[in-house]
A and B are shown apart, each in its own frame.
Chain A
Amino acid sequence: MPQQLLVNIEQTFAVILFGIGFTLLLLHRNLLKKIIGLNIMDTAVFLFLTSMGFISGREPPIVTNGITDASLYINPVPSGLVLTGIVVAVSFTALMLALTIRLYRRYRTLDIDRITLLARKEVN
């Protein structure tokens, strides 16, 4: 088992990073750190995907010098998935930041627990 973890060292680290990001997003009270956690989590998945598609000694999947032999390039699908994932992660980050700005303007704090308490005191 430890040997397998060493062979797939990128995936091992990706899963550890995923755990770190997940815990930050779930448990941290500061909204900004939650957003950082979200980004760590997404980046971990991207590392996981890219490392899976990478074959050592091959070229990036962009046709160079007119060579179309597929065996000279790495698998392009995971890279495509990562690009899509980056777009999704950016839009999530933007939305969360917008929400955070609004909450901060209203309550002057970034602590989600305090915000919840303050909101409860408000009349609906």
Chain B
Amino acid sequence: MSLVQNFPFFSIFLCIFGGVVTSVLNKKAARRVTLCISAIVFLMSATVWHYTLSATGSYSFMMGHFPAPFGNEIRIGRLEAVMATLFSFIMFMTLLSGLFNLDNHAQPQKQNLFFVMVDLSLAALLVMLYTNDLFTAYVFIEIMTIASCALIMVRQNGHTLVSATRYMIMNLLASGITLLGISMLYGITGHLLMPQLKQAVSVIHQRGLYSVPLTVVVLLLTVGLSIKSALFPFHSWAPDAYGNAPPVSAAILSGLVSKGYIFLLIKIFYRVIGMDVVRSQHILEVLFVFGIAGMLIGSVSAVRQRDIRRMVAYSSVAQIGYVFMGIGMGTAAGTAAALFHMVAHAAAKPVLFISSAALTDASGDHKRFHFLHGAGYRCKAAGVSFSITAMSMVGIPLTAGFISKVRLSLAGMVLPDAYRFAVLFTLAISTLLNAVYFLHTVVSVYRKASPEAQQAVPCPLHPMTLQSKVSLVILALLTLILGVLSGPVMQSIFAGLRSFS
């Protein structure tokens, strides 16, 4: 076994270790440790990605001293590695660019606790990508939930507390459902490791046993994880939580945390239940319809917002709809497009949250659009990066959003007529709506403010530092890079998905 093969384990362990250490450090040291950890995790994941490209297929890594049917395992393939690389890079850049105004939102002497939560959520994200064991996945879902709730409530005002409570209640319901699903699955099959589970499930399915419990299990797991990732009918907690949390927390929650749950759901579909069993239970159709509804309703609600942060938050609901529509197609091409859209959204959404916070800071902390006139000139880096990522959300060519929309429509083209029509029609409408609200924002940010309004704007309390400006622009450029050079990522996604089934 070469050293590289240990890196996924090292990166998970490093994050948990960082979470323990930062709890006793002061603010500055905690910040440095967390930044270092996310950078190291990024480098290690990139090495692992490089290794999986040269190695044949995937490998599983035994945790502890108990071999396969009893012990705990993580599994590393191309898909997991490429996701870990991109997510940890995005986490690093989000932290670098988003921390400049944390003092506005959190008490300075308690900020080390914020970094504890960041470390733990990165650890949970990595475990959800890598794990080969369903119960480990459950435990880290819970760690992720607690960490993300704490990320919301670092800001101590009434709105934030109420949204954190609502977030927590919805997530607790989802956790309960997921746990019941996992317990029932264990009751039917007697396994918790994914390969053994899949074998047992396919035997059960072929013999026609336990068809009702199996459907219930798939339903429980799907509903649980889609509540957590804010799929349309269960999205009520999301806009408040994203809109009231500090911008860097909202960026992490919407960009990365929700993606972890969706990735786990895809993993469960492909590696635990098996796509043919899932297809025979007609749950994908429901996801497809919910995804389409989410795309439309999320976009319509975003158009109606008068507050830039809530608009960006509602746009997340719409983007999650795209991802679930891709999964709901039930084909490898659809899931691959959904995975690429996850990456594109994960790269764009943190930039949108952080740059909109910088723009509102530069306009005297007003979030409404008419106060934002000229903000793009007052804070140039935020204006430029907001515009680039808004283009990606709309789907202008050369951006990552364009590639994912092309992939989604290509995947939709081969489906039966009704599906094809639904996919293309909704994509068109939703792109139009995205264009309406994002381009409207870009225009109002760059509209010249009247001279007296310009003079009245106070200087922000914590202006963007050079470091955060540079990293924000780099993160915005990542959407362009992903759009121009989508080839390697797409190949890894396809190869990884093939090795899943």
Within 8 A of A (CB), among B172-202: 172-173, 175-177, 179-180, 183-184, 186-187, 192
Contact A119 B183 (CB under 8 A): no
Interface residues of B in 152-184 (CB under 8 A from A): 153, 157-159, 161-162, 164-166, 168-169, 172-173, 175-177, 179-180, 183-184
Give chain A nearest CB distance to B237 CB in angstroms. Answer: 12
Give the CA-CA distance A119 to B176 in the complex, in Å.
28
Q: Could you tell me the distance between the alpha carbons of A11 and B213 in the complex, rounded to whole angstroms?
A: 13
How many Å lie between the Cα of A26 and that of B234 in the bound state?
12
Tell whether, in the assembled complex, residue A119 and residue B146 are in contact, meaning their CB atoms are under 8 Å apart: no
A52 at the interface (CB under 8 A from B): yes
* Contacting residues, chain A, for B192 (C-beta < 8 A): 77
A58: interface (CB < 8 Å): no
Contacts of B135 in A (CB 8 A): 81, 84
- In the complex, the answer to whether A38 meets B172 with C-beta atoms within 8 Å is yes
With A48-B183, A116-B162, A119-B162 known as contacts, the answer to whether A26 contacts B173 (CB < 8 A) is yes
Q: How far is the CA of A40 from the CA of B329 in the complex (A)?
A: 37
Q: Are A99 and B186 in contact (CB under 8 A)?
A: no
The A interface, classified by DSSP as helix, strand, loop or mixed, is: helix
Complex: how many Å from CA A34 to CA B166? 11
Whether A99 contacts B139 by the Cβ 8 Å rule is no
Determine whether the beta carbon of A122 is less than 8 Å from that of B158: yes
CB neighbours (8 Å) of A77 from chain B are 186, 192
Q: Given contacts A22-B176, A48-B180, A49-B183, is CB(A96)–CB(B168) below 8 Å?
A: yes
Give CA–CA (A11, B144) in the complex, Å: 29
Is B149 close to A, CB under 8 A? yes
A103–B159 CB distance below 8 A: no
B161 touches A106 (CB 8 A): yes
Determine the chain B residues whose CB is within 8 A of the CB of A26 once the complex forms: 169, 173
A88 touches B162 (CB 8 A): no
The smallest C-beta distance from A65 to any residue of chain B, in angstroms, reads 24
Nearest-CB residue, chain B, relative to A122: B158
State whether the Cβ of B285 lies closer than 8 Å to any Cβ in chain A. no
A51-109 interface with B by 8 A CB criterion:
52, 77-78, 81, 84-85, 88, 91-92, 95-96, 99-100, 102-103, 106-107
* Residues of A with C-beta under 8 A to B180: 18, 45, 48
Min Cβ gap B442→A in Å is 24
| Among B142, B146, B158, B184: residue with most chain A CB under 10 A | B158
| Pairwise interchain contact A124-B169, C-beta atoms closer than 8 A | no
Chain A residues within an 8 Å CB radius of B158: 106-107, 118-119, 122
Contact B169 A25 (CB under 8 A): yes
Residues of A within 8 A of B161 (CB): 99, 102-103, 106, 119
Cα A96 to Cα B149 in complex, Å, equals 10
CB distance from A117 to the nearest CB of B (A): 10
Among residues of B, the one whose C-beta sits closest to the C-beta of A115 is B162
A36 to chain B, nearest CB (A): 12
Among B162, B164, B173, B183, point to the contact of A52 (Cβ < 8 A): B183
Partner of A99, one of B153, B159, B173, B184: B153
Contact A103 B162, beta carbon cutoff 8 Å: yes
Please report the C-alpha to C-alpha distance between residue A122 and residue B158 in the assembled complex, in whole angstroms.
8
B residues less than 8 Å from A38 (CB atoms): 172, 176
Out of B146, B176, B184, B186, name the residue touching A95 (CB < 8 Å): B146
Given contacts A99-B153, A102-B161, A107-B158, contact A45 B179 (CB under 8 A): yes
Minimal beta-carbon separation of B174 from chain A (angstroms): 11
Chain A residues near B184: list those with CB within 8 A.
Answer: 48
**List of B residues within 8 angstroms of A88 by Cβ:** 139, 142, 175
Question: Could you say which of A11, A18, A92 contacts B142, with CB atoms under 8 Å apart?
Answer: A92
- A34, B179: Cα distance in complex, Å: 18
Closest B-chain residue to A95, C-beta based? B146
Q: Is the CB of A122 within 8 A of B146?
A: no
Which B residue sits closest to A81, measured CB to CB? Answer: B135
Q: Give Cα A120 to B161, complex, Å.
A: 12
Q: How far is the CA of A81 from the CA of B183 in the complex (A)?
A: 9
Contact of B165 among A81, A91, A99, A124 (CB under 8 A): A99
Residues of B within 8 A of A22 (CB): 173, 176-177
Closest-by-CB residue of B relative to A100 is: B165
Contact: A84 with B139, CB < 8 Å?
yes
User: Complex formed: what's the CA distance from A92 to B169 in Å?
Assistant: 10
Residue of chain B at shortest CB distance from A118: B158
Contact B159 A122 (CB under 8 A): yes
Q: A22-B176, A45-B180, A122-B158 are in contact. Are A52 and B187 (CB under 8 A)?
A: yes
Please report the C-alpha to C-alpha distance between residue A91 and residue B164 in the assembled complex, in whole angstroms.
16
Structural contact, A45 and B169, CB atoms closer than 8 A: no
Give the most central of B142, B157, B176: most A CB within 10 Å.
Answer: B176
- Kindly identify, within residues 5 to 44 of chain A, every residue whose CB is under 8 Å from any CB belonging to chain B: 11, 18, 21-22, 25-26, 31, 34, 38, 41-42
Contact in complex: B168, A95 (CB < 8 Å): yes
Residue of A nearest to B179 (CB): A45
Q: Are the CB atoms of A99 and B168 closer together than 8 Å?
A: yes
19 A-B residue pairings within 8 Å (CB atoms): A21-B176, A38-B176, A42-B179, A45-B180, A52-B186, A77-B186, A77-B192, A92-B142, A95-B146, A95-B149, A95-B150, A96-B172, A99-B161, A99-B168, A100-B165, A102-B161, A107-B158, A118-B158, A122-B158
Residues of A that sit less than 8 Å from B by CB: 11, 18, 21-22, 25-26, 31, 34, 38, 41-42, 45, 48-49, 52, 77-78, 81, 84-85, 88, 91-92, 95-96, 99-100, 102-103, 106-107, 112, 115-116, 118-119, 122, 124
Add 5 more A-B contacts to A103-B162, A115-B162, A124-B159 (CB < 8 A).
A22-B177, A52-B183, A78-B186, A84-B139, A95-B168
